[in-house]
Structure formats: C-alpha cells, structure tokens
Amino acid sequence: MKIITYNVNGIRSALGKGLADYLQKVNADVVCLQETKAQPDQIDDTLLKVIGYNHIYWHSAVKKGYSGVAILCKQKPENVVIGCGNELYDNEGRVIRVDFKDCSVMSVYMPSGSSGEDRQGFKMSWLEYFYGYISRLKHEVPNLVICGDYNICHRAIDIHDPKGNAKSSGFLPEERDWMEMYFNDGWIDGFRFFNSHPHHYTWWTFRAGAREKNKGWRIDYCVLHESLKSNLKASWIDAQAKHSDHCPTGIELKF
C-alpha cells in the first residue's frame, strides 16, 4: 500500500496546476490532503475519479476558504470517520480517517501558531487534546497511520536555520518536546526511519526564493504506529512536486 500526504494550499488551485496528472504518475493507493480550503460542492473531482480515486472523503471547515482535510482512496474503505469528536476542532476541518482491513489512515491538519499568541495558545491546546485522542485511538484502531501537516519541525535537522528560528512557532521548544514525546510513545516517523540526512524539507515560504535555495522546514509527516514497523518498506519526500508551498511525502507498506 502506497500512501502519500500533501498540503495542497487550496485544492482548486492545486488541481489547476496539474495535481491530478501528478497523482496519476505517483499512483498511490491513499492520498491524504490538507488545507483544501473549499466546500465539497465547490470542488470538481472529475479528474480525480478519472485517475482512479472513486472514493473521496472531505472534511471542510465551517469557515469557507479555510483549513479542511480530505482522503482519496482507490479502494473503498470499510469505515470512514469524519472529525475527532471535538466541536472546537471539527469546526476547522482538521481530522478525517479511513479504515481498511490491514490498516487505518488518518489525514490531519494541525493548527499553525504563526499568526500570534492566540493561535499559538490554540495550537498548544490542540496538541494536548490530540495526544490524548490518539492515545485512546491506538488501542481501538490497530495499525494506524497518521499523515499530515503537523506544523512542527521535530529536530534541528528538520529546519534550514535552527538558530534563527529558535523562537518561531513551529520550532518552539515546547512544540519540539511534544513531538519527542509523541515519537517516544510508540509512533514512527516514516521518513526518518530510512533517512537521517539533513536538507530534506516539505515546506518553503514563498518569499525570497526560499524554495530555489532550499531554505525550508520539514513539517509534513507520515507517522505510523510501531505495530506496522515490519510492514514499512520505503519512504520519500518529493520536493520536485510544485502544486503548493508544500510538497508531498509518502510511505509504502507491504502486507
């Protein structure tokens, strides 16, 4: 099973930039999307269905043009869960999950705190809630994969300028501590399982030619429960995909 995650920074914009052609070439079984920024009735999914994604599930924010997650599947899942059961976060369209026979896949869009103290506080409250949520869920839903935009760089290796960003949201000590706790509690960073080298990023600001200079952040992850460790066969980041200010990252599982 090939799984990729991609913050598209607007699904309609990304489709206009050739996203469907890209997905056809990648040929993933499950595609997790974040920051779709659209209501389902605003999206023409014809091209996605033409390339084999006949089972598409959306969780949009109440606020139009904001946030939102989705999962595209080639095979019909056994179960679909919209949201995380908390109205505060579900109103922002942050979590969706599909369950298959061998594993379950979640698409998650974690809040950004870069706009100010209020949203940083919201982000930290979310992290506390989400940790408790998945701690319960991993016992109820075996073989869980949690893909998405985490809006946090785990370690200095995951950001181009760790010293200059030491006080930036997304690389704050308390955020990184949360990631460390997460990965020490039975979760595996799919990309780092195979690759320990620097300069691999998934997001670049649009400013100052950051992408061309590879001055980026690795904030998008495919995370899997340790029960799937023996099934993990490959992982990658595709920095050449340019439909967004993010790029896709993926894993391959063998059952």
Residues tagged active-site: 149
The single residue listed with the structure tokens 């460390």 is 180
8 A C-beta contact, residue 104 and residue 138: no
- The 3-state DSSP class for residue 164 equals coil
Query: Contact, 214 vs 174, CB < 8 A?
Result: no
Integer CA distances (angstroms), 112 to 55, 77, 154, in order: 29, 30, 15
Phi and psi dihedrals of 16, rounded to 5? Answer: -70, -20
Q: Which two tokens stand for residue 129?
A: 């809630």
For the chain, the helix, strand and coil percentages under 3-state DSSP, each to the nearest 5: 30, 25, 45
> What single-letter amino acid sits at 153?
C
- Least Cα distance to 109 among 84, 87, 73, 85 occurs for 84
SS3 137: helix
CA distance 116 to 202: 23
Q: Where are the alpha helices (DSSP H) in 103-231?
A: 117-140, 173-183, 190-194
As a whole number of angstroms, the distance between CA 80 and CA 61 comes to: 17
Instruction: Output the six-digit token pair for 48.
Output: 């996605």
